[in-house]
Amino acid sequence: MAKLISVNRGDAQHIEGYKALTGIIKQPQPSAEIERLGLVGDAICDRKHHGGVDQAIYLYFADDYQFWADELGTTIEPGRFGENLTIEGVEGRSVAVGDRFTIGEVVLEVTSHRTPCMTFAARMGDRFFVKRFHKAGRPGAYCRVLQPGTVEAGMDVVVTPYAGERITVSELLALDGKRLDPDFMRRALTAPVHYKMRADYEDKLANLF
């Protein structure tokens, strides 16, 4: 069974050499309360691009951390990528929109992938990290909160795969910035994608005619 290995929360602070305030620097906590808009007490500084009901919780996976440890030649502690919850026992690249993660009373539903930004690159101390992250195809997963509650590190995680069209987070990351195939967009719209993605795809499809 999958397991929650870390619960991570961040305060608004500066990365050295980076002007904007950010909540990406997260530290492990024994437990935390999850509400509809995310982890209670977790700083969200750029609400234009982060947070909201369909991007309330960010998951990253232990197998992806192992990839990066091998890639970078160093141990990376949970929370380094700014995720709220770190989960082991799940293949991160295969996670798809609509997959559900049940942790105690909390139920999360995957909505989209993470698109890396320059704040993330600054956090990693590598101005080329956005490109490296894209190439690796291991974006983690944003989720909406279907059922709020309290989570603790060490809790079991029940994963319920989405039964419909499987639009994986790695597939979505690979399509960032590219011209989208109409058939793909129609397929994606059958899944419970992020509301902004849904609006974008619906608009693009409407303009085909």
Per-residue pLDDT reduced to its tens digit, 61-73: 999 999 999 999 9
CB 88 within 8 A of CB 5: yes
Its pTM stands at 0.96
Q: What is the pLDDT of residue 44?
A: 86
CATH of 2-177, one of 3.40.640.10, 3.30.200.20, 2.40.33.20, 3.20.20.60: 2.40.33.20
What is the pLDDT averaged over residues 168-181?
95
| 28-42, 45-59, 129-143, 190-204, range with the lowest pLDDT | 45-59
Overall average pLDDT of the 124-148 stretch: 96
Q: Which two tokens stand for residue 76?
A: 């990376």
Mean pLDDT for all residues in the chain: 95
> In which band, very low, low, confident or very high, does the pLDDT at 159 lie, cut at 50, 70 and 90?
very high
For residues 41-61, average pLDDT:
89
Burial 164-203 (b: 16+ CB within 10 A, else e): eebbbbbbbbeeeeeeeeeeebeebbebbbbeebbeebee
Q: Per-residue confidence at 152, pLDDT binned at 50, 70, 90? A: very high
Q: Which two tokens stand for residue 163?
A: 């039964």
pLDDT at 46 over 80: no
Q: Average pLDDT, stretch 83-90? A: 98
Strand (E) or helix (H) holding 64: helix 62-72
Higher pLDDT, 21 or 175: 175
